[in-house]
Structures are given as C-alpha cells and as structure tokens.
C-alpha cells in the first residue's frame, strides 16, 4: 500500500479518535472506543473512505502503536484532547524519562515545567531516540531529561499507555534537565 496514503489515514484517525470525533459524527465511549464499522462508515460518509485492510495496516504497521483494535472496537492509545478515561493504572516509572521539544519552547518550559497543553497528560518517552523523533517534528530537537524517580518519590503519579508512552499531569522545572547541560 502506498506509504503516503497510510500516513494520511493515520493523521485522519488521530484527528477523529483523539480530538474531533463529532466532526464526522462519531461518539467515543467513556474510554475512547468506537466501533470499527461506525468509524469506517463515518469516514466514507465524510469523503474519506478507508478500507478495513487499510485500517488494519495502519494499526498493525504503526511503529508508535498509536491505536488499538479489540473486539470490533478501535481507540487511540493516548494524546486525547476530548474527555476520555483510558483506564490506565498508575505505574512506577523508570528513573529517567525524556521529552523532545524545540528551542523556542525552552524558556517557558524551564519556568513553568512541562504542561499537557491541550492534552490530558504530558507525554514522556522511555528513550532518547524516541524523544528526538518527537522533538524533530517541529524543528531542531532539544531533549529534556526528566528525573522521574524523584518525581514519583515526591508523589507525582505516572501512567504507561498501551504503546509505551509515559504520561503524567505536569513536570515541574526542578525535575527537568536539558541534555548535555549540567
């Protein structure tokens, strides 16, 4: 299947399973799920037909595992701006986690910490490589190291999504370090 088409489908799914389900007339349940058939019918009715084969390829072939299909239902694994409860249990994070950003955001991050902005949680990566990919989406990446062990010891709650992304409500500045700077 053509890679460009799969990328377009993935972006379409992200938009409608994480941010604007009402735009195509679907309703996510309290946990973010919608029937696959409902999603495919709504997409077709709104001028963006997706075959089940394409959907399966996007879900199964996505290295970030952004979506889960289970029992005829689909949902995004994290990153929602609409209200959903992903039923994620709290988890003990690794000692260090990472966040990729770009330089223009650094002054406010170092003053206010990492905030979820339009999402429900701050997204943290378990490795530098993933954080670098995330930061690269908006320009030259700046990688922040998060002292997750100290945060957890201080009472901050962490969750791990189905695709391995670590989530927390906020990362205060004292727990952040710009990689390569002491």
- Asked if residue 89 belongs to a domain, the reply is no
Q: What is the pLDDT of residues 40-83, one digit of tens each?
A: 999 999 999 999 999 999 999 876 788 999 999 999 988 888 88
- pTM over 0.85? The answer is no
Where helices occur in 15-67 by DSSP H, the ranges are: 36-45, 52-61
One domain for residues 32 and 103: no
One domain for residues 58 and 104: no
One domain for residues 64 and 106: no
CATH assignment at residue 27: 1.10.10.970
- Asked if residue 174 belongs to a domain, the reply is yes
- Asked if residue 87 belongs to a domain, the reply is no
Among 54, 44, 72, which residue's Cα sits nearest to residue 10?
A: 54
- Asked if residue 120 belongs to a domain, the reply is yes
- pLDDT at residue 182, rounded to an integer: 36
CATH assignment at residue 112: 3.20.170.30
- Asked if residue 83 belongs to a domain, the reply is no
Distances from the Cα of 79 to the Cα of 66, 163, 168, angstroms: 9, 11, 12
Q: What is the pLDDT of residues 142-158, one digit of tens each?
A: 999 999 999 999 999 99
Q: In which domain, by residue range, is 169 found?
A: 96-178
Stretch 88-103: mean pLDDT: 94
- Asked if residue 90 belongs to a domain, the reply is no
Burial class (CB in 10 A: 0-12, 13-18, 19+), 53: exposed
One domain for residues 62 and 120: no
Domain count, the chain: 2
Q: CA angle at residue 40 from 56 to 134, to 5 degrees?
A: 55
One domain for residues 174 and 117: yes
One domain for residues 167 and 117: yes
One domain for residues 27 and 69: yes
- Asked if residue 81 belongs to a domain, the reply is no
One domain for residues 136 and 165: yes
């Amino acid at each position: 299947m053509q890679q460009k088409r799969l990328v377009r489908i993935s972006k379409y799914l992200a938009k409608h399973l994480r941010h604007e389900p009402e735009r195509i007339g679907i309703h996510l349940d309290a946990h973010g799920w919608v029937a696959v058939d409902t999603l495919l019918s709504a997409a077709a009715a709104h001028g963006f037909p997706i075959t089940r084969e394409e959907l399966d390829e996007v879900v199964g072939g996505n290295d970030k595992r952004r979506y889960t299909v289970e029992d005829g239902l689909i949902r995004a694994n994290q990153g929602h701006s609409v209200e959903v409860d992903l039923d994620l249990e709290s988890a003990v994070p690794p000692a260090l986690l990472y966040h990729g950003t770009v330089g223009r955001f650094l002054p406010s991050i170092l003053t206010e910490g990492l905030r979820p902005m339009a999402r429900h949680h701050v997204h943290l990566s378990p490795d530098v490589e993933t954080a670098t990919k995330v930061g690269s989406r908006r320009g030259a990446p700046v990688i922040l190291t998060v002292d997750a062990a100290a945060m957890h010891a201080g009472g901050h709650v962490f969750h791990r999504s189905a695709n391995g992304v670590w989530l927390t409500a906020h990362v205060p500045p004292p727990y952040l370090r710009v990689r390569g700077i002491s």
